């Protein structure tokens, strides 16, 4: 995949350096060797995290995504797509692989190639790419000889099929738009897929309209681009012969085949038994929006709802026990939902469900096979791997480890911390200490937000490499976001919950209280140096950074990956649709006198007293939102620096950018919190700027030329 800069971004490119020459990646190691050599242990590096082989959505907090795993019709094999970043070529290596569930567990690659697939986010009437990688679920043919899957080449996602015996792969569709999901029809032995056939016409209509000029309206999001965004259009389900012939709209039973939801949305669990019964999850009537319940439907439509407490809450999946009438389900539970419980339940029985497993490991994308539940599994110190869990006993074993090299990598000690904030809301986080840390020496500490589940990469957005920071001598606290101040209040929609939390910035104050409580725990234990605590984050985490710098004196340095929700950004640069959305959740409407509403949240209104060093590493699509803050802080001669990355989204997806972000964040916190400087000559200019910020005087790019005076007005 060759990445091309978009027109009009020459100035942005100059900010980040020359655009790299892209060559083909060497993808021989996209699947590890069957027997990786045992090496002497070495310290973890940022590159180790960047090059992790992934199966499914990399973020371990994405519980209700489609599964990346597909069990063969005979139950003996498992298919999945494996993905690995290659920063040298700024590409991703991808492979479709099969592993035998009964062993040996060395995967067999049946196709290689293709580009990373990001799913389009659809909301506020617009379709945008936010940089979230799409979960690709392979689909086995009914006879087990073929696997259908999505593959992207030359900027277009098509349906492909590959022979399960490794005999080759070929493209099935030749669409002028993207295929979005794929499955196989057991009745017709045809491939069923979803696509958006109206999108090419939508784009052509926008081009025609542009010849006379576009009317500025809610279709625009100026921060993303100076043209209307495509509308959200309904997708169509198609059916096609496996050889690519006879494509037509799906008919009859083909239309009932479940396909992955659009926009990577949440998947409510659904499984069919051999006798026609189904088990699923749904929102419990009259409960909070996140409270699900487990429901069994008989063939005649009669329902059995599990009324036991264990059957409700954050249920993430439900399945039928092989060879049994029992149901197995998985739920998040424990302190601040920091554990997962696997339960077995007999529908119609008065006995409560039996918990067979409780663990801090994260189990994602689980599918039922004859031998048991097959999931991806990970924890704070072990990257994701494929595992089998016995639903009768909860015992498990690994099936395939895509990152065996980590057995030779030394990580710091991880400790789960728990506390309550000033509102009594449960908080938790994972403390990572440097390898070999000796108690009694307070350390520079970095707080990473805003999810802490599974393997500790770099927080939400994966920009603050937790284990590599610890290897550089930091104590790192990875924080989990708190539950809403409104809790599971029945009858409130997610928007209403958000609106309630906006009153006097209640949600932000609750989060800040949790952050400060956690930091004080570390200070009291002699782990954190109170004068050297930094904070970081993307999106909601970046909002935590902003609120903390304005409303707390605890933090000595900060780095944020997005910026900023403030008056000018929301009302102007984000566009009409976003402004209306924010207004509906309690923000002042454009043109309305906001009074002091923004004072606790706006860098612009607090620029004069913002003296803590702030690094912003933002995408070109979100640069406009940061300009009011940058202008105010630079004009006030405050220690701030912004780096802009081209052709990026809310989540930065290019490997070369992610590598640069990792390295700069480590350098930034090392400089401000540890007083360390990397001697690399290539970084001399970086440290010249930072030293000037520290020692002063900080120049302002907005100083009036000598001899000129203000025009009277």
Backbone phi, then psi, for 436, in 5-degree steps?
80, 15
537/544 Cα distance (integer angstroms) = 7
Q: Is residue 405 part of a domain?
A: no
Distance (Å, whole) CA 446 – CA 467: 11
Q: Does a structural domain hold residue 685? A: yes
SS (H, E, C) 76-114: CEEEEEEEEEECCCCEEEEEEEEEECCCCCCCEEEEECC
**Residue 119: inside a domain, yes or no?**
no
Active site residues: 539, 622, 650
What is the rounded CA–CA span in Å between residue 519 and residue 541?
16
Whether residue 445 is contained in a domain is answered as yes
Q: What is the model's pLDDT at position 60?
A: 85
**Is residue 634, in this structure, part of any structural domain at all?**
yes
37 Cβ contact partners less than 8 Å away, ≥ 6 residues apart: none
332 and 63 in contact (C-beta within 8 Å)?
yes
* Residue 209 lies inside a defined structural domain of this protein: no
Q: Which helix (H) or strand (E) holds 496?
A: helix 494-502
CA 390 to each of CA 121, 387, 572, 575: distance values in angstroms, whole numbers, following the listed order: 36, 10, 54, 51
| pTM, full prediction | 0.93
Within-domain flag for 137: no
Per-residue pLDDT, 268:
60
Helix (H) or strand (E) holding 5: none
Taking each helix axis as running N to C, give the angle between helix 494-502 and helix 506-524, from 0 to 180 degrees, rounded to the nearest 10. Answer: 70
Nearest to 563 by CA among 506, 610, 510: 610
Determine how many CB atoms are found less than 10 A away from the CB of residue 330: 25
Task: Answer yes or no: is 543 within a domain.
Answer: yes
pLDDT at 372: 96
Name every residue whose Cβ is closer than 8 Å to that of residue 619 and which is 6 or more positions away in sequence: 131, 562, 644, 645, 648, 649, 650, 652
Q: What is the predicted pLDDT for the residue at 38? A: 67
Range of the domain at 675: 411-590+600-695
- Tokens for 97? 């692989």
Residues 6+ apart with CB under 8 A from 612: 549, 555, 556, 557, 558, 639
Identify the CA nearest to 78 among candidates 469, 280, 367, 479.
367
CA atoms within 13 A on the CB side of 121: 11
Token digits for 191?
Answer: 């491939």
Find the CATH number of the domain harbouring 691: 3.40.50.1820
Cβ–Cβ under 8 Å, residues 276 and 297: no
If one counts the domains in the chain, the total is: 1
| Average pLDDT per consecutive 10 residues, the chain (713 residues; last block may be shorter) | 32 34 70 75 96 94 89 97 96 97 89 92 84 94 97 97 97 95 91 94 95 96 92 92 96 86 59 84 76 87 90 91 92 96 94 96 96 97 97 95 95 98 97 95 96 96 98 98 82 74 92 98 98 97 97 98 89 91 91 94 96 98 96 97 97 97 98 98 97 94 75 60
Structure tokens at 437: 């840390």
Catalogue the long-range contacts made by 385-388 (C-beta closer than 8 Å, 24 or more residues apart). 386/55, 386/69, 386/78, 386/80, 386/99, 387/363, 388/101
- Nearest-angstrom CA–CA distance, 455 and 382: 6
The two structure tokens encoding residue 163: 């022979």
What's the pLDDT at 1?
Answer: 32
């Amino acid at each position: 995949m060759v990445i091309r800069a978009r027109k009009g971004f020459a100035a942005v490119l100059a900010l980040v350096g020359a655009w790299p020459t892209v060559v083909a990646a060497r993808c021989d190691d996209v699947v590890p060797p069957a027997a990786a050599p045992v090496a002497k242990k070495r310290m973890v590096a940022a590159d180790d995290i960047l090059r992790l082989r992934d199966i499914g959505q990399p973020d371990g907090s994405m519980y209700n995504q489609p599964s990346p795993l597909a069990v063969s019709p005979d139950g003996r094999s498992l298919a999945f797509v494996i993905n690995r970043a290659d920063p040298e070529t700024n590409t991703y290596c991808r492979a479709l692989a099969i592993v035998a569930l009964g062993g040996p567990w060395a995967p067999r690659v049946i196709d290689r190639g293709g580009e990373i697939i990001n799913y389009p986010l659809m909301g506020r009437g617009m379709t945008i790419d936010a940089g979230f990688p799409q979960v690709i679920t392979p689909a086995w043919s009914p006879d087990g000889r073929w696997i259908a899957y999505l593959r992207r080449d030359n900027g277009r996602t098509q349906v492909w099929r590959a022979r399960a015996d490794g005999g080759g792969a070929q493209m099935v569709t030749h669409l002028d738009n993207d295929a979005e999901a794929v499955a196989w029809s057991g009745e017709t032995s045809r491939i069923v897929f979803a696509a958006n056939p109206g999108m090419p016409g939508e784009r052509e209509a926008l081009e025609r309209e542009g010849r006379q000029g576009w009317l500025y309206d809610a279709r625009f999001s100026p921060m993303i681009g100076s043209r209307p965004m495509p509308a959200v259009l309904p997708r169509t389900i198609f059916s096609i012969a496996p050889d690519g012939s006879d494509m037509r709209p799906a008919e009859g039973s083909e239309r009932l085949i479940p396909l992955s939801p659009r926009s990577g949305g949440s998947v409510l669990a659904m499984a069919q038994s051999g006798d026609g019964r189904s088990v699923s999850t749904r929102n419990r009537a009259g409960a909070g929006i996140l409270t699900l319940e487990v429901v069994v439907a008989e063939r005649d439509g009669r329902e059995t709802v599990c009324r036991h407490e264990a059957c409700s809450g954050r249920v993430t999946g439900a399945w039928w026990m092989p060879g049994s009438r029992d149901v197995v389900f998985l739920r998040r539970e424990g302190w601040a939902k920091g554990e997962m419980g696997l339960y077995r339940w007999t529908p119609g029985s008065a006995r409560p469900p039996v918990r067979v497993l409780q663990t801090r490991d994260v189990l994602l994308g689980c599918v039922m096979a004859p031998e048991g539940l097959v999931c991806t599994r990970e924890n704070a110190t072990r990257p994701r791997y494929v595992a089998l869990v016995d639903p009768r006993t909860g015992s498990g074993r690994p099936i395939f480890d895509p990152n065996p090299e980590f057995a030779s990598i030394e990580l710091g000690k991880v400790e789960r911390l728990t506390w309550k904030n000033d509102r009594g809301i449960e908080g938790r986080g994972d403390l990572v200490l440097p390898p070999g840390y000796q108690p009694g020496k307070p350390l520079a500490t970095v707080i990473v937000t805003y999810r802490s589940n599974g393997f500790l990469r770099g927080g939400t957005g994966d920009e603050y490499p937790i284990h590599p920071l610890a290897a550089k001598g930091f104590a790192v606290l990875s924080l989990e976001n708190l539950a809403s101040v409104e809790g599971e209040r029945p009858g409130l929609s997610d928007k209403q919950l958000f609106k309630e939390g906006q009153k006097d910035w209640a949600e932000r104050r609750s989060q800040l209280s949790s952050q400060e409580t956690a930091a004080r725990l570390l200070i009291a234990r002699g782990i954190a140096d109170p004068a050297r605590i930094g904070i970081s984050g993307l999106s909601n985490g970046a909002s935590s950074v902003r609120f903390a710098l304005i409303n707390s004196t605890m933090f000595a340095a900060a780095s944020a990956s997005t910026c900023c929700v403030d008056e000018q950004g929301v009302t102007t640069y984000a566009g009409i649709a976003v402004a209306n959305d924010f207004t509906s959740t309690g923000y002042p409407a454009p043109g309305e006198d906001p009074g002091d509403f923004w004072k606790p949240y706006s860098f612009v209104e607090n620029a004069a007293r913002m003296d803590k060093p702030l690094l912003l590493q933002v995408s070109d699509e979100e640069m406009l939102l940061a300009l009011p803050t940058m202008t105010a802080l630079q004009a006030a001669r405050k220690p701030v620096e912004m780096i802009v990355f081209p052709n990026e989204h809310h989540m930065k997806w290019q490997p070369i950018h992610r590598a640069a972000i990792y390295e700069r964040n480590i350098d930034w916190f090392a400089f401000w919190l540890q007083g360390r400087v990397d001697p690399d000559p290539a970084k001399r200019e970086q440290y010249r700027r930072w030293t000037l910020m520290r020692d002063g005087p900080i120049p302002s790019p907005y100083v009036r030329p000598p001899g000129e005076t203000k025009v009277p007005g």
